[in-house]
Amino acid sequence: MRWLMSSDVCKHCTHAGCLDVCPTGAIFRTEFGTVVVQEDICNGCGYCVPACPYGVIDRREEDGRAFKCTLCYDRIGEGMKPACAQACPTESIQFGELDELRVRAAGRRDQLVEAGVSSAQLYGENPDDGVGGAGSIFLLLDAPEVYGFPPDPVVPTCNLVSMWKHAAAAAGVLAGITVGAFASARRS
């Protein structure tokens, strides 16, 4: 038996499904690259909940509005660290520029592998993954599934553009058939 610790926060995805589907503009990308919900604009439709490949966004029971980690948008706007990074006594949670954090995380993973933890791995650091890379990177000691993370997360809206193109093409064909049918009917 062993304990595996991890936080299950919003990953602040580069391609964020929650943001793609929100019909009210309640979810927006901040100037820091993070993804934030504005509670006063959210109408509680809930579209964002299944659009998150990590299952981290949810609706409040009381009023149905969506909520999730904002990476302390108010604090970082004032030049402060998010509260979790500020309070963590072991610096297990760190905050900074993403490129710098990627390098630091890779170094810690390599240290662990050299120390014999061959299953140590990073999660969310790959910009070519199904969400375009995450803004929250995790150093795991085992496979993502063991922590309850999807091993290969994909933003559900990745095919949205091609779906709309196919729908537009299908609508065009349908309109052509309808016009053809009317023209045939007038001749007969």
Which residues bind to ligand SF4, rule: CB under 6 A? 10-13, 16-18, 21-22, 24, 26-27, 35, 37, 42-48, 52, 54, 56-57, 66, 68
Least distance in angstroms from the C-beta of 40 to ligand SF4: 11
Q: Which residues contact 158 (CB under 8 A, 6 or more apart)?
A: 15, 130
Least distance in angstroms from the C-beta of 57 to ligand SF4: 4
Among residues 112 and 132, whose Cβ is nearest to ligand SF4? 132
Least distance in angstroms from the C-beta of 15 to ligand SF4: 8
d(CA 102, CA 112): 15
Least distance in angstroms from the C-beta of 170 to ligand SF4: 26
Using DSSP's 3-state secondary structure scheme, residue 7 falls into: coil
Among residues 16 and 85, whose Cβ is nearest to ligand SF4? 16
Which of these, 67, 78, 65, 66, lies nearest to 32 by C-alpha position? Answer: 78
Among residues 32 and 47, whose Cβ is nearest to ligand SF4? 47
In sequence order, the β-bridge partners of residue 28 are: 36
Among residues 35 and 98, whose Cβ is nearest to ligand SF4? 35
Q: Which residues contact 102 (CB under 8 A, 6 or more apart)?
A: 125, 137
Written in H, E and C, the secondary structure of 89-128 is CCCCCCCCCHHHHHHHHHHHHHHHHHCCCCCCEEECCCCC
Least distance in angstroms from the C-beta of 123 to ligand SF4: 12
Among residues 139 and 153, whose Cβ is nearest to ligand SF4? 153
- Cβ atoms of residues 76 and 82 within 8 Å: yes
Least distance in angstroms from the C-beta of 102 to ligand SF4: 18
- Cβ atoms of residues 66 and 58 within 8 Å: yes
